Amino acid sequence: MRDCAAPWLVAHPRCAAPNERPYTQGRVVNGCDSRPPPAGQRPQGRIPAVPLGQGRRHGCDQRLPRLCGILELYQPILTVGLPLWIIASTTASAAVNSALLVEDTVVVFLFQVAMSRGADTAKGSARSLRRSGILFAACCLLFALTQHTGPLAAVPLLLGGTLVLVLGEISHATGAFGLSLHLPPPKRLGEYQGVFALGRGLQRTAGPILVTTLVIGMGRTGWALMAALLLLAGLVSVPLTRSAENAIRVRIPGAPAPAG
């Protein structure tokens, strides 16, 4: 820690010197006054304490993070399942995997802003999730077609399938992040962000072994099962989001009403 901080302290010598002004002067940020109150006076503008566990207690809110975690299986597909598939079940060179990762980076760079439009509401974010599920299912079917095909057919299919996967990746990121921001009621954003992080943990824990078992162990049948799982997760995202909005609005006073 000390070694990592040394270059930063050299570049900013004023920050390295003792200075108590930032702690005593303070400022107003997001409506909260960080300056210490006068003696005998209670702090003003503070966010009142709220009971913890509110986001975790709503069944709909727990299902949505799990849903996002299922759709996030695209990550082990791209980084674990697809490289093993290329080596074990296709005639394409293993070097193709490097081209697929470059393709992923370039497509995200070019299209992430354009594809994020429309996710400024919970309903729009849910539609992005639905689109991601459809795209993920399509890419799985394209990858399945590469089994035991010649390199001239396998490489274009792999490139096309990766393009579809990356478009689904952008849609998923837009939808999942949008829901984690639009669904929480006022003053409980941090708690709901923690709830949504559960889905990411689910994918990181079970994703690699699930993808490997289906793709490498079952071949085209495994790709088809993966496509069905991702498609189903995408299709239920819109009604599940509507249900979650209604549950939060009813149980938590002050929560925003569902948009359009």
Share of the chain above pLDDT 70, in %: 70
Mean pLDDT, the chain, whole residue set: 77
With respect to residue 49, please indicate whether it lies within any of the assigned structural domains. no
The pLDDT confidence band at residue 78, using thresholds 50, 70 and 90, is: very high
Residue 69, φ and ψ in degrees, nearest 5: -65, -40
Output the pLDDT for position 69: 87
Count how many domains the chain has.
1
**Alpha-carbon distances, residue 23 vs 18, 27, 229, 254 (angstroms):** 11, 10, 52, 33
Higher pLDDT, 63 or 104: 104
Supply the range of the domain harboring residue 201: 58-250
Phi, psi values for residue 186, rounded to 5° = -55, 140
CB within 8 A of 65, min separation 6: which ones? 195, 196, 197, 198, 199, 202
CATH number at residue 189: 1.20.1250.20
Task: Report if residue 25 sits inside a domain.
Answer: no
Type of residue at 90: T
Residue 164 has a pLDDT of 97
For 228-242, what is the mean pLDDT? 92
User: Is 191 inside a domain boundary?
Assistant: yes
Q: Is the pLDDT of residue 81 over 50?
A: yes
In a domain, 35, yes or no: no
The three-state secondary structure class of 29 is strand
Residue 142 domain flag: yes
The residues, any chain, with a CB within 8 Å of residue 207's CB and separated by 6 or more, are: 72, 73, 75, 76, 80
Residue 6 domain-assigned? Answer: no
Residue 32 forms part of a structural domain: no
More confident residue, 175 or 9: 175
Given the structure tokens 């990762």, which residue do they identify?
101
Q: Tell me whether residue 141 is in a domain.
A: yes
